[in-house]
Amino acid sequence: MGPYSGNSRKPWAKAVAATRSAIFDPNLAQSDELLAAIFMLDFYEGLNRRYVNMLEDPDLHQKAGMAIMQARGDNNLSTDISRRLYSALKSKYIFSHLQSRRPVDQNDDFIMNQPPELSEWPTSRLDRVMVDLSNVLANLEDYSKRTMSFAALRLDSDGVFDTLSAEALLRECFRIKQVMNEWRDNVPKSWQPYRIQDPEEIHYSIRAVGLYNGLCDVYSSHTVAQMMNFWRTMKITVLRLIKHLSWLVGVQFLLEHVPTDAEIDEEIQQLADEICACVPFHLGSRTTVSYPHEPQRYPPVPDWLRESADYIDSMGRPTINTDADHARTAASAGGWFLLTPLTTLMEYYRPFPLTPGADERSTLEPMNLRQGQSRWIMGQCRRIHKIYLIPWPYGPIEGRGVGGSLSLSSSWGPKDIGARLY
């Protein structure tokens, strides 16, 4: 079941061969199936890069997907499935820049201009935030390298250049934070989590293995939960940057209200709790390898929440998600969806240098979590690895972190299968 097992590699080889043939077929080259295949190949090889340390080009499939979409032109918007694939692959391409802290070319019309049909999708609006955050991270890395060089040459002893640059970055982080808050305030009703208040509504087998502080949130779908967690990890990134840059700039930075370190820590804690609260929704009662047809317990999702969302089946027809649909998705991909935000929290629990050889001015300090929470998160990560037979490369629980897909390190996790299709 692991990403590099024999059972996995054989279908992968067949998929690569079929995809290559389709690219040279004039009919299939324009098909949604080809784009979906490229998306899946990119996801699979992302797993291998993360868990098997394979040194493959991380942009290979994304570049191919972008080239095909540009060649397709208006066909990208011809059907509902086409529009969802277009949005997913475009988001993945932008996300790759965020992963590697590369700036996004804002003069690239294909990247920056959203078709009217997609411009108000929550995912499209979040893409624009990703672009801004990617550019901030790229500028911050460049700034850190320059300040390190100035310090080494003793050319910046008064710190004036440092302060001005840091202030500009800090103002941009505040702007991004405001945009992210507005995004959260305006997501559709179907994207809102529902918190189960009565623990007795949750089966005891779930409570025994995956309930943090009694918190349990459910969603209309795994994809929605994944996107909300993606927003949370990005928000934590922005808050950590604000905390660091505020320290660099000092008291001379004048705003109506600059949050204190305690206020930032409190907001990060709330976001971390919300990520932990979705563990039962993704994993249910599972503790070992299981298959989609095997019965498992999951927390109940209210009918009104599921009915508020627009779903499509594999043929593009409207449908309603059911408990059986949820169980199948959770068994096949729920843990993968959850592993990324959980490992991101673990990565953020330790200092992160913004550039090699960084000093205090170029290192983000660890975020502060409630006592015992990081150990609980690590335990859930181990649980996911056990469920999916993923090798555990991180050593003992004590004193170790793991690379998350929205961490600022270069070790990024996979993009999820169903990402951004809703």
Q: Does position 9 have pLDDT exceeding 60, yes or no?
A: yes
d(CA 44, CA 109) in angstroms, rounded, equals: 29
> Tokens 């305690």 map to which residue?
262
What are the structure tokens assigned to 351, written together? 């200092």
Query: CA-CA distance, 37 to 61, in Å (whole number)?
Result: 10
**What is the three-class DSSP state of 106?**
coil
DSSP 8-state class, residue 364 = E
Q: So what's the pLDDT on residue 164?
A: 65
Amino acid letter for position 409: S
Rounded-to-integer distance, Cα 354 and Cα 310, Å: 41
Stated pTM of the model: 0.80
Could you read off the pLDDT of 372-399 as tens digits, one per residue?
A: 999 999 999 999 999 988 877 665 544 3
Mean residue pLDDT of the chain comes to 78
Give 154-163 pLDDT, tens digit per residue. Answer: 444 444 445 6
Quick one: pLDDT at residue 155? 47
- Residue showing tokens 């024999």: 6
Q: Is the pLDDT of residue 422 over 60?
A: no
For residues 97 and 147, what is the distance between their CA atoms, to the nearest angstrom? 23
Q: What is the share, in percent, of the chain residues with pLDDT greater than 90? A: 34
397, amino acid identity: I
Q: Which residues partner with 215 through β-bridges?
A: 212
pLDDT tens for 27-42 read 776 777 777 777 777 7
Q: What are the residues whose beta carbons fall under 8 Å from the beta carbon of 329, sequence distance 6 or more?
A: 221, 222, 418
Is 337:275 a contact under the CB 8 Å cutoff? no
Helices (H), 250-294: 261-277, 279-283
Phi and psi torsions of 190, nearest 5°: -70, -10
**Residues 188-210: what's their mean pLDDT?**
93
Nearest to 334 by CA among 226, 256, 188: 226
Closest CA to 212 of 100, 376, 4, 18: 376
SS (H, E, C) 129-192: HHHHHHHHHHHHHHHHHHHHHHHHHCCCCCCHHHHHHHHHHHHHHHHHHHHHHHHHHCCCHHHC
Compute CA distances 232 → 117, 270, 343, whole Å.
Answer: 26, 10, 13
At 18 the pLDDT is 76
What DSSP state is assigned to residue 332?
I
**What is the sign, positive or negative, of the torsion defined by CA atoms of 308, 331, 46, 271?**
positive
Q: For helices 160-185 and 122-153, what crossing angle results, to 10°?
A: 170
pLDDT of residue 397: 44
Q: Which residue has the higher pLDDT, 272 or 400?
A: 272
Residue 259 and residue 267: Cα distance in Å, rounded? 10
Model pLDDT for residues 229-279, shown as the tens digit of each residue: 999 999 999 999 999 988 888 766 655 567 889 999 999 999 999 999 999
Q: Which of 110-114, 307-311, 346-350, 418-422 has the highest mean pLDDT?
A: 346-350
Helices 80-100 and 60-72 pack at an angle, to 10 degrees, of 140
Contacts of 144 (CB under 8 A, 6+ apart): 354, 355, 358, 361, 362
Look at 82-86, 165-169, 246-250 and tell me which has the smallest mean pLDDT: 82-86
Report how far residue 416's alpha carbon sits from residue 230's, in angstroms, rounded to the nearest whole number.
11
The pLDDT assigned to 405 comes to: 36
- Is it the case that residue 189 has pLDDT exceeding 70? yes
Q: What is the pLDDT of residue 121?
A: 81
Average pLDDT for residues 298-310, to the nearest whole number? 89
CB contact set of 378 (below 8 Å; sequence gap of 6+): 346, 397, 400, 402
pLDDT greater than 50 at residue 403: no
CA separation for the pair 279, 294 (Å, rounded):
19
Mean pLDDT of all residues in 202-217: 94
